[in-house]
């Protein structure tokens, strides 16, 4: 692992790392010690479950086109990545949280917060685009809310990307090409793309700098489909007779027809990262990070339907196999503009982060850090005019989120006292995370050229602030024993909430809540290569701005969708692990985990204050999960140069109590939590035949799962459903010389067709050429 002599920016919301060894991360039995000059945001000492992947492992095993790809073979993790460059639906799923719970994990890059905690769900995913695969040096994942340094969003996992920082001059360039033949319903096409990146850095004396640029141009497969249910058609000859509809079953096994595809994205993304670090003195370092990410996206639609002359049909009354759909709205409607929309996205996001950190290795060290994430431009245009006329303009809408973002600020310290009944290491800090969401939707006469002018047709704004004080003591109280005791005190406020629909608007009252989250972890060295670890922690996950305020308002001030009175999620998570490590490259771990959550936040149907049925984000009274995770790795055991790793996870996650419902009261009790499969597994074999050549083969599996709260969707292999899956990947890498490296890979080699509401990518080929100086 290459040394880093200068610290990169650390997150304003995390503890100061121990300054034990500036160049490495040391994993000893029972405790993981994070070196202080390494730019990681993980806690100082972790007697809990942690997993890591390094740069050489990424190069040899992963066909990485996006930063989230490197998490592919971590135990119990899944990123819902729908296509290369997926910027708004790639949610991270963990042991006891599905892909609808983006706020149940924390993602950082060099300690800078990338998790989008403005909301919870598919459209509030981590800002993966602020990290490119080529700049990643290492990724650390901490499972569970067992450190007092984190908010309750750590209930699932904490991910920290450590990116490159040079110790001497270095330069890199990489060019990649990828291609996906896609065959589903009436779509038969191949979607291609390319990616280019370059980076340059140097370190001289006390100053180091690094710059990284990347462009990705990618076409993804269709993600949505226009449908009509057979039961809603009117038998007879009404409507224009059409052919081309594809008969199928929905997720509840109800007969429907698929009429065409939508949300087929073509995205062009640009990334720029600049990092500066300067040693003011041998014991005091300052650093600055600037990040720029831009996305220009085009979403296209295609009708499968053809009239008698063979022309594509996009609008009006139609007759499909003797069933007429002739209404102007509702389930019996003919083709509407909303069935085949066009979209155009224009986004520019910025990050700034600074830190000032002492590095004395003495009795006390400290750090001050701050970061800002800014939605400089965030526009989504959507047509409201039927194709093909919509290609030239016409009515539509514009959603504008400019002004949204977040900022973090923290003061952290570490104290190493002596003579207090054993070895102690105290972490403490004061933190503040402020988030602000601004969303306005405008009706446009010209959806392609109209601006965000005049009165919006709908709007929701709001701010949340989380202020915290925490303290944590890593205490080696006896030979072979270590405990980490922590306490986190938080005060959460929500203000400026405003929900508007049409001419009605409602200003929500301010709210404030406080809570405490204790943590405890214990490890014991049972033998030279065998350790036992136990951890428990409380996590309080406060509602996000979007959960509170996004929705519709009525004349009497009652919100039909927004729910400003949501209660925080409160969880107790525990795990018991045993780990055997006969060598530095071989290990076997078994972890029994349990999570008990009250007031879980989910979208479901219930009654509002007026007694009417509405679908909104609500509190599910009680969700309970227990399971067993096993993971292991071995190097050179069966064959020289052959590395093996794998994991199996069993999770039983069920709704225990719920005062809301989907169809009738109590219909969710005892049902599986949404999108949490009972079984998950992964396996990866890497053969380094020579110093120049490596071959990797991996497999991933997840069992049956449901996407509805009442588990009324038994058919996972359908649009809007969540299916089981089994996929395999292969990667060959060859170092042609000291400077030049080539790689070829195939993801989803077995071409498994699987779903998570949208279809996942089918078999995808990739090729890379890399130059390093």
Percentage, residues of the chain above pLDDT 90: 81
What's the whole-number average pLDDT of the chain? Answer: 90
User: Which among 24, 28, 32, 66 is positioned nearest to 49, based on CA atoms?
Assistant: 32
Name the band, by pLDDT with cuts 50, 70 and 90, for residue 2. very low
pLDDT at site 649: 98
Residue 415 within any structural domain of the chain: yes
pLDDT at 647 over 70: yes
- pLDDT for 147: 92
pLDDT mean over 590-611: 86
Split at pLDDT 50, 70, 90, the class of 579 is very high
Strand partners, 281: 284
Q: What DSSP character marks residue 222?
A: P
Q: Does some domain include residue 463?
A: yes
Q: What is the mean pLDDT of residues 14-30?
A: 36
Query: pLDDT tens digits for 664-699?
Result: 889 999 999 999 999 999 999 999 999 999 999 999
Give the number of domains in the chain: 1
Which neighbouring-strand residues pair with 573?
537, 595
Burial class (CB in 10 A: 0-12, 13-18, 19+), 684: buried
Using pLDDT thresholds of 50, 70 and 90, give the confidence band for residue 428.
very high
Tell me, what DSSP letter sits at residue 650? E
**pLDDT (tens digit per residue) in 272-329:** 999 999 999 999 999 999 999 999 999 999 999 999 999 999 999 999 999 999 999 9
Band the pLDDT of 608: cuts 50, 70, 90. low
- pLDDT for residue 217: 98
DSSP E strands, 144-186: 157-163, 170-184
- Residue 368 in any domain: the answer is yes
Is the Cβ–Cβ distance between 78 and 91 less than 8 Å? no
DSSP symbols for 436-503: EEEEEEEEESSTTT--S-S--SEEEEEEEEEEEEEEEEEEEEETTEEEEEEEEEEEEEEEEEEEEETT
CB contact set of 339 (below 8 Å; sequence gap of 6+) = 226, 259, 260, 262, 301, 314
Q: Is residue 212 part of a domain?
A: yes
Peptide bond into 388 cis (omega under 30): yes
User: Which two tokens mark 110?
Assistant: 């060099």
pLDDT of residue 385: 96
More confident residue, 362 or 356: 356
pLDDT of residue 36: 37
pLDDT digit string (tens) for 706-742?
999 999 999 999 999 999 999 999 999 999 999 999 9
Q: What is the DSSP letter of 548?
A: H
pLDDT band at 361, cuts 50/70/90?
Answer: confident
Please give the pLDDT value at position 607.
66
Per the domain annotation, does 184 fall within a domain?
yes
* SS3 state at 375: strand
Where do the DSSP E strands lie in 688-772?
A: 693-702, 725-735, 740-747, 755-756, 758-759, 764-772
Let me know if residue 522 belongs to a domain: yes
Please determine, for residue 42, whether its predicted confidence score (pLDDT) is greater than 70: no
Q: Would you say residue 14 has pLDDT above 60?
A: no
For residue 362, pLDDT beyond 90: no
CATH assignment at residue 77: 2.40.170.20
12-21, 205-214, 488-497, 651-660: range with lowest mean pLDDT: 12-21
Rounded to whole angstroms, how far apart are CA atoms 78 and 580?
26
Local confidence band at 662 (pLDDT 50, 70, 90 cut-offs): confident
Residue 271 CA to residue 349 CA, distance in Å, equals 10
Close Cβ partners of 603 (under 8 Å, ≥ 6 residues apart):
100, 121, 615, 616, 617, 618
pLDDT over 70, % of the chain: 91
Tokens of 339: 């069935």
Banded model confidence at residue 562, pLDDT cuts 50, 70, 90: confident
CA atoms within 13 A on the CB side of 204: 4
- Per-residue model confidence (pLDDT) at position 222: 98
Q: Which residues neighbour 657 within 8 Å (Cβ) at sequence distance 6 or greater? A: 620, 621, 622, 669
594 in any annotated domain:
yes
Residue at 396 is within a domain? no
Q: Which residue has the higher pLDDT, 769 or 1?
A: 769
Q: How far apart are CA 682 and CA 578, in angstroms?
A: 20
Contacts of 734 by beta carbon, 8 Å cutoff, 6+ apart: 692, 693, 741, 742, 743
Banded pLDDT at 137 (limits 50, 70, 90): very high
pLDDT band of 29, cuts 50, 70, 90: very low
pLDDT in tens, 511-546: 999 999 999 999 999 998 999 999 999 999 999 999
**Residue 57 has what pLDDT?**
95
Asked if 157 and 92 count as a contact pair (C-beta separation under 8 A), the reply is yes
DSSP state of 94: B
3-state secondary structure 292-348: EEEEEEEEEEEECCECCCCCECCCECEEECCEEECECCCCCECECHHHCCCEEEEEE
Q: Which are the contacts of 419, defined by CB distance < 8 A and separation ≥ 6?
A: none
Q: What is the mean pLDDT of residues 88-115?
A: 94
In this prediction, residues 593-612 reach a mean pLDDT of: 83
Provide the strand spans (E) within 116-252. 136-143, 157-163, 170-184, 187-204, 207-219, 224-229, 234-235, 240-242, 246-249
pTM of the predicted protein model: 0.92
Euclidean distance between CA atoms 555 and 711, whole angstroms: 35
Nearest to 9 by CA among 292, 276, 203, 283: 276
Beta strands in 636-678 (DSSP E): 642-657
**Span of 24-38, 176-190, 641-655 with lowest mean pLDDT:** 24-38
pLDDT band at 560, cuts 50/70/90? low
| Residues of the domain holding 76 | 26-390+404-691+705-738+746-772
Q: Is 371 exposed, middle or buried (0-12, 13-18, 19+ CB in 10 A)?
A: buried
Choice among 202-211, 596-605, 607-616 with the minimum mean pLDDT: 607-616
Asked if pLDDT for residue 490 goes beyond 50, the answer is yes
Helices marked H in 490-583:
545-549
d(CA 87, CA 319): 38
Going from the C-alpha of 641 to that of each of 429, 511, 630, 755, the distances in angstroms are 45, 59, 24, 36
Q: What is the pLDDT of residue 533?
A: 93
Phi, psi of 495 (to 5 degrees): -150, 170
* Out of 9-18, 231-240, 529-538, least confident range: 9-18
d(CA 530, CA 580): 5
The 3-state DSSP class for residue 129 equals: helix
Ramachandran category for residue 720: left, alpha or beta (phi over 0 → left; psi -120 to 50 → alpha):
left
**In the beta sheet, which residues pair with residue 511?**
494
d(CA 345, CA 349) in angstroms, rounded, equals 13
Q: Which residues are within 8 A (CB) of 110 and not within 5 positions of it... i.e. 6 or more apart?
A: 8, 9, 10, 39, 41, 160, 161, 162, 163, 275, 289, 353
């Amino acid at each position: 692992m290459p040394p880093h002599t200068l610290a990169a920016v650390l997150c304003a919301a995390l503890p100061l790392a121990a300054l034990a060894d500036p160049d490495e991360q040391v994993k000893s039995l029972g405790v993981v010690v994070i070196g202080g000059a390494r730019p990681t945001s993980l806690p100082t000492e972790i007697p809990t479950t942690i997993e890591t992947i390094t740069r050489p492992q990424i190069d040899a095993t992963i066909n990485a086109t996006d930063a989230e790809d490197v998490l592919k073979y971590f135990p119990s993790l899944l990123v819902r990545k729908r296509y290369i460059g997926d910027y708004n639906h790639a949610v991270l799923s963990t042991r006891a949280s599905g892909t609808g719970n983006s706020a149940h994990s924390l993602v950082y890059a060099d300690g800078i917060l990338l998790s989008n905690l403005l909301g919870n769900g598919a459209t509030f995913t981590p800002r993966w685009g602020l990290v490119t695969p080529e700049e990643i040096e290492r990724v650390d994942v901490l499972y569970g809310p067992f450190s007092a340094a984190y908010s309750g969003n750590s209930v699932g996992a904490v991910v920290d990307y450590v990116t490159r920082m040079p110790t001497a001059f270095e330069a890199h360039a990489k060019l990649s090409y990828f291609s996906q033949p896609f065959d589903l319903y009436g779509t038969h096409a191949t979607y291609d793309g390319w990616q280019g990146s370059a980076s340059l850095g140097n370190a001289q004396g006390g100053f180091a700098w690094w710059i990284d640029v990347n462009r990705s141009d990618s076409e993804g497969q269709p993600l949505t489909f226009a449908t009509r249910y057979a039961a809603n058609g009117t038998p007879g000859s009404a409507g224009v007779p059409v052919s081309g509809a594809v008969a199928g079953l929905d997720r509840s096994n109800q007969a429907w027809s698929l009429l065409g595809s939508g949300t087929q994205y073509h995205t062009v993304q640009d990334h720029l990262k600049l990092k500066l670090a300067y040693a003011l003195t041998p014991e005091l370092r300052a650093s600055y990070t600037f990040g720029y990410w831009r996305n220009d996206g085009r979403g296209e639609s295609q009708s499968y339907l053809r009239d008698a002359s063979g022309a594509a049909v996009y609008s009006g009354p139609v007759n499909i196999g003797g069933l007429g759909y002739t209404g102007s709205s509702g389930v019996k409607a003919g083709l509407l503009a909303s069935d085949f929309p066009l979209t155009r996205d224009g986004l520019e996001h910025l990050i700034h982060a600074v830190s000032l950190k002492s590095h004395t290795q003495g009795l006390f060290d400290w750090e001050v850090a701050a970061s800002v994430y800014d939605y400089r431009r965030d526009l989504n245009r959507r047509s409201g005019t039927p194709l093909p006329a919509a290609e030239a303009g016409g009515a539509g809408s514009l959603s504008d989120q400019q002004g949204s973002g977040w900022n973090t600020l923290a003061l952290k310290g570490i104290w190493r006292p002596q003579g207090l009944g054993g070895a102690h290491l105290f972490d403490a800090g004061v933190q503040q995370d402020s988030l602000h969401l601004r969303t306005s939707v405008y009706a446009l006469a010209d959806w392609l050229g109209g601006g965000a002018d005049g009165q919006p047709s709908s709007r929701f704004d709001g701010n949340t602030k989380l202020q915290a004080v925490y303290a944590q003591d890593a205490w080696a109280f006896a030979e072979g024993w270590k405990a980490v005791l922590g306490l986190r005190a938080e005060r959460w406020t929500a203000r400026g909430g405003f929900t508007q629909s049409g001419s009605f608007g409602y200003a929500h009252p301010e709210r404030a809540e406080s809570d405490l989250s204790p943590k405890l972890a214990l490890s014991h060295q049972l033998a030279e290569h065998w350790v036992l670890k136990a951890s428990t922690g409380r996590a309080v996950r406060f509602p996000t701005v979007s959960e509170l305020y996004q929705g519709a308002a009525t004349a009497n001030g009652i919100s039909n969708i927004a729910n400003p009175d949501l209660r925080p999620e409160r969880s107790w998570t525990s795990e018991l692990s045993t780990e055997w490590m006969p060598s530095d490259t071989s290990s076997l771990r078994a972890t029994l985990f349990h999570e008990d959550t009250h007031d879980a936040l989910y979208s479901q149907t219930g009654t509002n204050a007026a007694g009417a049925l509405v679908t909104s984000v609500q509190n599910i009274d009680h969700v309970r999960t227990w399971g067993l995770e096993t993971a292991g790795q071995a190097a050179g055991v069966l064959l020289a140069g052959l590395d093996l790793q794998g994991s199996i996870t069993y999770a039983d996650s069920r709704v225990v109590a719920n005062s809301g419902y989907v169809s009738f009261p109590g219909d969710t009790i005892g049902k599986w939590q949404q999108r949490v499969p009972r079984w998950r597994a992964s396996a990866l074999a890497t053969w380094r035949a020579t110093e120049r050549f490596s071959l990797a083969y991996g497999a991933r599996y997840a069992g049956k799962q449901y996407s509805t709260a009442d588990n009324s969707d038994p058919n996972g292999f359908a649009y809007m459903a969540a299916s089981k899956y089994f996929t395999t990947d292969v990667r060959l890498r060859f170092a042609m010389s000291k400077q030049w490296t080539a790689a070829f890979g195939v993801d989803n080699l077995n071409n498994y067709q699987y779903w998570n509401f949208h279809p996942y990518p089918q078999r995808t080929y990739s090729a890379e050429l890399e130059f390093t100086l």
